[in-house]
Structure 1
Amino acid sequence: MTIEKLYHSFLKCSTISTDTRKIDSDCMFFALKGDNFNGNKFALEALNKGAQFAIIDEAKYATHDKCILVKNVLETLQSLATHHRKTLGTPIIALTGSNGKTTTKELINAVLSTTYKTSATKGNLNNHIGVPLTILKFTKDTEIGIVEMGANHQKEIEFLSNITLPDFGFITNFGKAHLEGFGSIEGVIKGKSELYDHLMSHHKVVFINKSDAKQIEQIGDYKKTILFGSNTIMASAQPFINLLFNKIEIKTHLTGAYNYNNIAVAIAIGLHFKVDDSSICKAIENYKPTNNRSQIIEKNSNKIILDAYNANPTSMIAALDNFGSLNESGKVAILGDMFELGEDAEFEHQSISDYSKTFNIEHIYLVGENFFKTKNIVKNVSTFKSFENLKNELINSPLKNKYLLIKGSRGMALERVLDYI
């Protein structure tokens, strides 16, 4: 079946589904495969639950006239998304980067949605499956689309850009993330810059902070570049960021100076799309982070910066810099392993361990197999090989009246600490 014919069927459906546990009536079910599952086996179940069509790539499962057999389900999903994107012609803003992608996407969406009908990536569905699913949720009523793109190896952003075909783009930063796949910080820069390469080759618009020399270097004298940051000034971050925008004070619910750039680009994009200053300010002031991203939580006698959604050496340093700058007493840091660092894991964990000791922090808990191997000769550092070991320590020696930073990679799930403080 051609993409044009499949698209005609897609337009008859209410939405897209890839999970039979979440079947909407009249949806189009895509029978994706993974290492441990084969969606083809669930095609009939999806149809029985209300799906209008089931897209499969194994003929033996074509047991219903609503099954549509294709060569490869995933590739078909991706091709359908690009066809949908071209048909709609909706302006799309794409963003990637080592840290802060999701927060930045949500801030941009908050600002633009005050004036436009927007549609944005849900959560962090930013990979080769999540990106096409995001695009296929755009409708003819979508005035601006916002697509987050993630990557852990080179050529992935190029691939996602070719699906998305963005009109505007922004890279939050270049950091030491996914070194196992990218190989080095130079590999990260090259991989993330594939977004700028795509935008420039298609004569589209690039947003860059005027003070980010490394990013400016990547685009050279490209004419369709919007440099931002001249009309915003960060006033303080104790712990929440307060900033001045065109001499208007904005009081945010975001902690950490590292979030300033994310706010500044949301303002810049809002201005580009002619959102009025008042709406921009209200949107940013009303935005509250969720999902373990730079959240401020109070529990019992403790105050907590919960930043446990993910971590890499760059974001860990930024979090420690911010935590160290806070004018608070009784500070305690609970840091979990950073994943996907490959052969750099030992060095990077030791570096973070050493760096954490340079701050006036009452006690530091290092959790995970990599942090457990670090060399620590100071009394205020404790290492734990597993979360269970840390849990027992917190139960036996409860933390009271402390100001905590909790940060680690997603696989560490350090938000579980909240159950024991």
Structure 2
Amino acid sequence: MNLTIQEIANALAIDNINDSRSIEQVEFDSRKINQNALFIPLPGARDGHTFAQAAIENGAIAMLWSQPLDLAPKLEQVTILPVADVTKAFQQLAVYYREKIQPKVVAITGSNGKTTTKDMTEAVLAQQYRTYKTQGNYNNDLGLPYTILHMPADTEILILEMGMDHAGEIAFLSTLGQPDAAAITIIGEAHLENLGSRENIAKAKLEIVTGLKQDGLLLIPADEALLVPLVQPLSQEIRTFGLEQGDLSAKIIDESSQQTTFEVANQALTIPVLGGYNVKNALIAYGFGQYFGLTSAQIAKGLAQVELTKNRTQWLTASNGAALLSDVYNANPTAMGLVLDSFARLNLPGRRLACLADMLELGPDSLAMHAKMAEHIQQHYDKVYLYGSQMLALKEALASQNIPYAYFKVDEKDQLIACLSAELTPTDSLLLKGSNGMGLQAVVQALVEANQ
């Protein structure tokens, strides 16, 4: 980092601090602290202030402090920075640091594909610029300032993923980030339970323009009618993307388990991942590349080299040799339908199987949305393994179509693992998809590690 304790105090309007020592790290997890760190004791199930001593032992030399000062550590080597609200001070410091480094900022939101798009965008822009991106899923009101404060001082383009589950959250994140360019990947059904309708989800996602520069760029899907009336009053440049439609239009040439080749403006491009839906994500990265002045060759090279964050459409091998497509970080009906369709189109050596877990936070129409997944399964799958209470609706739909299935309740994860382990053969290919809260990652891990 490129901050001193004195500078941090000045940025937060804290008086009576005289400490020129440099801060090399900002952390809210005391276990991650190394030398010369600023500790951020955030509120939570256990108040961060209770970990002050552990932070000091690991190398913290300064910390924000919102409790009474007589409770603060009294050590000569530790500078206490008193603030009224640790979370707000943390966010304020992130704004200061962003303004100091002055990178161009790219912001990405959407109901699905945010992380994949972030990874693709970083791979493209890194061909010409020094980039830094959101790590993992640090995409909320704490994760975004954390990302900013971990940005190297020589960063030229900062790529921020922005997540939400309530209205107003993206507006807040966009105000913190002040993007030069932004994108909405897709308007799906995630968080219907909180937002009530896809129309409200579209409005919430469009909050990304709150901090977008007036001369900035916004990329939106060409096939999303809900966004059309919402973007008409905007002053920013609006570009659309899609498969054979939009300002950035792609045609899929070839799709296999390991890569997808498509054409944009008579140029063939390849991404090392499955799925036409990922071509749409790649088009966003393509659009950002164009906006920031990269050549077509640079964009193509970046897309060909992209490495996706773990658990996003990740091919693995079970202990017996079966192929596993793990896509278990999140799920909504749009995303699940897309990956089921893509998996169904693959030329596979043996049986085509799917393990599907509940999609959470879908509101009162959840059961109907789960049942609708039968349209994407039909006769393409040899057997489907269902896990969770909401999947009862899909069970009934599959039964009515005589599609083979096995059903497991929420408390039967061990039975699900045992069943899959017993029935998978070395030539099978198994897709696993469900909301992160259903814990399918444990199923994936068990299949990979069995008998090891």
- Check whether TM > 0.5: yes
Q: Percent identity?
A: 32
- The more displaced of 325-334 and 96-105 is 325-334
CA pair 11-121 structure 1, distance change in 2 beyond 3 A: farther
Which residue does 1:238 correspond to in 2?
256
Residues 362 and 9 of structure 1: is their aligned pair in 2 closer, same or farther, counting only changes over 3 Å?
farther
CA shift in 2, pair 1:231/1:322, >3 Å: closer
Structure 2 residue 99 is matched with structure 1 residue 99:
no
Amino acid at match of 2:229: E
How far is 1:195 from its partner?
Answer: 0.8
Using the TM superposition, give the Cα deviation of residue 140 of structure 1 relative to its aligned residue in structure 2, in angstroms: 3.7
Q: Which amino acid aligns with 2:47?
A: N
3-state SS of 1:369 partner:
coil
Cα distance in 1 for residues equivalent to 2:418 and 2:440: 14
The answer to whether the 8 A contact 1:62-1:68 is kept is no
One-letter amino acid of the structure 2 residue matched with residue 233 of structure 1: K
Quote how far apart the aligned CAs of 1:9 are. Answer: 6.8
Which stretch of the first structure deviates more once superposed, 266-275 or 410-419? 410-419
The alpha-carbon distance between structure 1 residues 9 and 344, as it changes in their structure 2 partners (threshold 3 A), is farther
Aligned partners of 2:277 and 2:19: how far apart in 1?
Answer: 45
Query: 1:231 deviation in Å?
Result: 6.0
Q: CA deviation at 1:208?
A: 3.0
Task: Give the Cα separation in 1 of the matches to 2:155 and 2:311.
Answer: 29
Contact 2:181 2:288 (C-alpha < 8 Å) held by counterparts: no
Name the aligned partner's letter for residue 176 of structure 2: I
Which of these residues, 259, 266, 279, is aligned with residue 285 of structure 2? 266
Give the equivalent residue in structure 2 for 1:47.
Answer: 56
Structure 2: runs of 5+ lacking an equivalent: 1-8, 242-246
Given that residues 95 and 149 in structure 1 are in contact (C-alpha distance below 8 angstroms), is that contact kept between their aligned partners in structure 2? yes
Q: Does 1:20 align with 2:38?
A: no
Alpha-carbon distance in 1 for matches of 2:127, 2:229 = 34
Give 1:344's aligned residue.
365
Task: Indicate the SS of the match to 2:176.
Answer: helix
**Contact 1:205–1:225 under 8 Å retained in 2:** yes
**Residue 9 to residue 180, structure 1, CA distance change in 2 (3 Å):** farther
**Distance in 2 between residues matched to 1:11 and 1:338, nearest whole Å:** 49
**Misfit runs of 4+, over 6 Å:** 7-11
**Aligned with residue 324 of structure 2, among 288, 301, 304:** 304
Q: 1:100 to 1:8 in 2, by over 3 A?
A: farther
Whether the aligned pair in 2 keeps the contact of 1:43 and 1:67 (CA below 8 Å) is no
Q: 53-62 vs 295-304, which deviates more?
A: 295-304
How far apart, in 2, do the equivalents of 1:231 and 1:349 lie? 31
CA distance in 1, matches of 2:102, 2:18: 17
Q: Which deviates more from structure 2 when the two are superposed, residues 122-131 or residues 75-84?
A: 75-84
Where does 1:28-43 land on structure 2 (aligned, <5 Å)? 28-34=38-44, 36-43=45-52
Structure 1 residue 175 and structure 2 residue 188: aligned?
A: yes
**Match of residue 203, structure 2, among 178, 190, 202:** 190
Q: Deviations over 1:164-204 (max 9, x none)?
A: 1112111111000011222221221111111134437x453
Distance in 2, Cα, partners of 1:286 & 1:410: 27
RMSD: 2.4
Question: Is the Cα–Cα contact under 8 Å of residues 378 and 403 in structure 2 kept in the other structure?
Answer: no
- Give the match for residue 335 of structure 1: 356
DSSP-derived class of the 1:199 partner: coil
Distance 1:396 1:238, change over 3 A: closer
Q: Are the aligned partners of 1:17 and 1:29 in contact in 2 as well (CA < 8 Å)? A: yes
Measure, in 1, the Cα distance between the counterparts of 2:21 and 2:171.
28
The 1-side partners of 2:287 and 2:215 are apart by 19
Are 1:381 and 2:405 an aligned pair?
yes
Distance 1:159 1:126 in 2: 12
Residue matched to 1:406: 432
Q: CA deviation at 1:415?
A: 3.2
Once the two structures are overlaid, the 10-residue window that deviates more, 394-403 or 169-178, is 394-403
Task: Kindly indicate whether the alpha-carbon contact (under 8 Å) linking 1:307 and 1:408 is maintained by their aligned counterparts in 2.
Answer: yes
Match of 1:294 among 313, 317, 328: 313
Distance 1:155 1:327, change over 3 A: same
2:217 is equivalent to residue 205 of structure 1: yes
Closer, same or farther: CA 332–117 of 1 in aligned 2, 3 Å: same
Deviation string, structure 1 residues 17-43 (Cα, Å, up to 9, x no partner): 111111121111000111x21110111
Residue 441 (structure 2) aligns with: 415
Identify the range of structure 1 (56-65 vs 87-96) with the bigger mean alpha-carbon deviation: 56-65
Structure 2 CA distance for aligned equivalents of residues 316 and 237 of structure 1: 18
Q: CA deviation at 1:156?
A: 0.5
Cα 1:338/1:211, change in 2 over 3 Å: closer
| Separation in structure 1 between the aligned mates of residue 298 and residue 147 of structure 2, nearest angstrom | 26
Equivalent AA in structure 2 for residue 28 of structure 1: L
Is the CA contact (8 Å cut-off) linking 1:90 and 1:144 kept in structure 2? yes
Counterpart residue number, 1:62: 72
Q: Give yes or no for contact 1:43–1:56 (8 Å, CA) kept in 2.
A: no
Distance across 1 between alignment mates of 2:132 and 2:382: 44
- CA contact 2:119–2:307 (8 Å) conserved in 1: no
Aligned residues: 418
Partner of 2:137: 124
Give the Cα–Cα distance (whole angstroms) in 2 for the partners of residues 275 and 379 of structure 1.
49
Q: Quick one: distance in 2 between partners of 1:8 and 1:150?
A: 38
After superposition, what is the alpha-carbon deviation per residue over 1:129-162, rounded to whole angstroms, capped at 9, x for unaligned? 0000111123441111111100001000011111
Deviates more, 1:297-306 or 1:383-392: 297-306
Whole-Å Cα distance in 2 between the matches of residues 271 and 212 of structure 1? 22
Partners in 2 of 1:152 and 1:72 — Cα distance?
A: 23
The CA distance in 1 between the partners of 2:335 and 2:67, in whole Å, is: 43
* Matches of 1:52 and 1:196, distance apart in 2: 38
Secondary structure of 1:335's aligned partner? strand
Between the aligned partners of 1:284 and 1:186, the Cα distance in structure 2 is 32
What's the TM-score, normalizing by structure 1? 0.92
Structure 1 distance, partners of 2:236, 2:130, is: 25
